[in-house]
């Protein structure tokens, strides 16, 4: 492979981004998704040398929308062009709960972190509820381009390894050739189907069927001409829908598993009573644009860094989220900020310890937020709509402030030394980036499902 790491020289300012002093640490990122690109940007800013290898042949902007919370944008103000694009292309929406027949239950309004007086972690940034995946991937890749970070497309990682001095990825290219790429640190940001588990834990993380799947996609506004009322995301440019149904084995964990509008309507018609406006709207789904996404869940997996510390998982490869947690992209971006900062604090020579410190600082927070996806899912699946209509406060689905006030960069700076002492000397260390006053308790899917069964029996 022709590419190699560009050496950093003195601190510089490029495109308004101030690059800190060179650390001499080389980081090879596998996966140019949202998590991988942000890792590259933050690592560049912190003075590390970065490369990104991506399996696709070009930037993949498919997907619909997600809400990305303020902690993910804790350093966005330091990337002024990107910040301007983010604020221009995000969507302010207000949040309401509706019955499926089309009656309003409760209007919750603006995101809580934008209430008057609320202080969130993305200083100086207006963070609305909704962004489209195409806009965010474009924004991150353009910023990489402006900083001279080359995304090397058409490179698929097939295995990970390391020795005392370097991390190693075996890569295949589109022409069938194979190469061995090395760096001080390899970041496996290659999504839910990562091949890094073999090296990191020696075992695959099992993805279990939840019994449900999700139809999701976007309809451009110019295909719609009626007044719309529904519990879906409506912006000036598109309508974004997500409909959960009991799966029949045909859906896939793939953003390319598309179905037609007819199939979605057939499924809706099997359960009569849906709001006719919603059914009308969904009849406009552009052909083959609706993703049929199987909802899989995985037990939390605490070990993201390899035992040698040179290979580290990030984003979905380390922790997949149910959509009801509303946090998949946010946590991938928080990981990126935390890892780049930890590597800077660890310094060259101790970078293999820095990945373990990052893992220690992040896992319990991420695992607790993963669990909120279960709690919200339980609420959505088993809610008594009549009771909720009479008392909307029964719908407790929320994003508590400990989630959106967290700053992963400041947290790493404040806690690095203590977490490192915990790892290297066994000193006591307690994370403080979860729900205040509630110590972390390990959980797994089996125990959550048992709780769900018990609570349903008691209703």
Ligand X SMILES: Cc1cc2nc3c(=O)[nH]c(=O)nc-3n(C[C@H](O)[C@H](O)[C@H](O)COP(=O)(O)OP(=O)(O)OC[C@H]3O[C@@H](n4cnc5c(N)ncnc54)[C@H](O)[C@@H]3O)c2cc1C
Residue 385: φ, ψ to 5°:
-65, -35
Question: Which CB atom, from 31 or from 300, has the smaller least distance to ligand X?
Answer: 31
Which distant-in-sequence residues (6+ apart) come within 8 Å of 447 by Cβ?
none
CB 131 within 8 A of CB 90: yes
Sheet holding 26-30, edge to edge: 151-153, 49-54, 26-30, 185-188, 311-313
- For residue 364, give the H/E element and its range: helix 351-382
- Minimal CA–CA distance to 59: which of 149, 171, 154? 154
Where in 44-73 is the site for ligand X (CB under 6 A)?
Answer: 53-56, 60, 62-64, 66
CB 330 to ligand X: min, Å: 8
Where in 141-160 is the site for ligand X (CB under 6 A)?
Answer: 156-157
**Per-residue tokens: 166:** 């370097």
CB 324 to ligand X: min, Å: 11
CB 322 within 8 A of CB 178: no
Burial of 420 (0-12, 13-18, 19+ CB in 10 A): buried
Q: Report the residue number whose CB is nearest to ligand X.
A: 33
Binding mask 20-39 for ligand X (x = CB under 6 A): ----------xxxxxxx---
With contacts defined by CB under 6 A, name the span among 101-109, 228-236, 268-276, 327-335 that binds ligand X: 327-335
d(CA 432, CA 284): 47
Note if 267 is an active site residue: no
CB 109 to ligand X: min, Å: 22
Binding mask 172-201 for ligand X (x = CB under 6 A): -----------------xxx---x------
CB 191 to ligand X: min, Å: 3
d(CA 139, CA 88): 11
CB 174 within 8 A of CB 184: no
CB 333 to ligand X: min, Å: 8
CB 243 within 8 A of CB 332: no
CB 142 to ligand X: min, Å: 16
CB 290 within 8 A of CB 217: yes
d(CA 35, CA 331): 9
- Give the total of residues touching ligand X (CB under 6 A): 29
Where in 235-294 is the site for ligand X (CB under 6 A)?
Answer: 255
Asked if 326 touches ligand X (CB under 6 A), the answer is no
Catalytically annotated residue among 216, 296, 365, 377: 216
**Per-residue tokens: 108:** 């919750």
Where in 98-137 is the site for ligand X (CB under 6 A)?
Answer: 133
Question: Which CB atom, from 60 or from 112, has the smaller least distance to ligand X?
Answer: 60
The partner residues of 217 in beta bridges, in order of sequence, read 241
CB 453 to ligand X: min, Å: 28
d(CA 454, CA 249): 27
Question: Which CB atom, from 181 or from 420, has the smaller least distance to ligand X?
Answer: 181
Binding site for ligand X (CB under 6 A): 30-36, 53-56, 60, 62-64, 66, 133, 156-157, 189-191, 195, 255, 315-316, 328-329, 332
Catalytic amino acids? 216
């Amino acid at each position: 492979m022709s590419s190699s790491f560009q050496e950093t020289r003195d601190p510089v300012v490029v495109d308004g981004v101030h690059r800190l002093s060179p650390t001499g640490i080389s980081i090879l990122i596998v996966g140019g998704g949202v998590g991988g690109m942000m890792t590259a940007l933050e690592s560049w800013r912190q003075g590390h040398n970065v490369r990104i290898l991506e399996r696709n042949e070009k930037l993949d902007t498919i997907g619909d929308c997600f809400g990305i919370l303020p902690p993910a944008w804790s350093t966005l103000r330091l990337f002024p062009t990107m910040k301007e694009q983010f604020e221009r292309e995000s969507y302010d929406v207000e949040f309401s709960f509706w019955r499926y027949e089309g009656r309003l239950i409760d209007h919750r309004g603006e995101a809580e972190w934008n209430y008057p007086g609320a202080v969130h972690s993305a200083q100086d940034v207006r963070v609305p509820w909704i962004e489209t995946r195409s806009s965010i991937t474009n924004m991150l890749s353009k910023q990489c381009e402006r900083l001279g970070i080359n995304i090397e497309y058409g490179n698929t990682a097939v295995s990970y390894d390391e020795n005392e001095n370097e991390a190693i990825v075996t890569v295949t290219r589109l022409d069938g050739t194979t190469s061995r790429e090395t760096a001080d640190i390899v970041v496996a940001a290659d999504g839910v189907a990562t091949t890094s588990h073999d090296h990191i834990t020696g075992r695959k993380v099992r993805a279990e069927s939840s019994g449900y799947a999700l139809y999701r996609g976007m309809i451009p506004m110019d295909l719609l001409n009626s007044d719309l009322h529904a519990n879906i995301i409506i912006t000036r440019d598109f309508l974004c829908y997500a409909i959960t149904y009991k799966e029949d084995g045909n859906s896939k964990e793939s953003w390319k598993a598309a179905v037609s509008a007819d199939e979605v309507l057939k499924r809706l018609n099997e359960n009569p009573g849906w709001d006719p406006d919603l059914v009308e709207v969904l009849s406009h789904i552009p052909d083959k644009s609706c993703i049929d996404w199987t909802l899989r869940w995985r037990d939390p997996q605490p070990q993201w860094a390899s035992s040698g510390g040179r290979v580290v998982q990030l984003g979905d490869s380390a922790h997949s989220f149910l959509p009801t947690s509303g946090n998949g992209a946010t946590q991938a971006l928080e990981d990126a900020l935390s890892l780049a900062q930890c590597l800077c604090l660890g310094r060259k020579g101790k970078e293999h310890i820095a990945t373990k410190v990052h893992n220690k600082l992040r896992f319990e927070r991420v695992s607790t937020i993963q669990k909120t996806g279960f709690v919200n899912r339980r609420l959505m699946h088993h809610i008594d709509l009549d009771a909720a209509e009479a008392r909307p406060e029964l719908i407790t689905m929320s994003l508590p402030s400990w989630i959106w006030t967290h700053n992963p960069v400041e947290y790493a700076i404040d806690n690095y030394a203590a977490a490192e002492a915990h790892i290297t000397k066994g000193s006591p260390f307690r994370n403080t980036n979860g729900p205040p006053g509630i110590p972390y308790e390990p959980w797994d899917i089996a125990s959550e499902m048992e709780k769900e069964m018990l609570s349903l029996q008691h209703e």
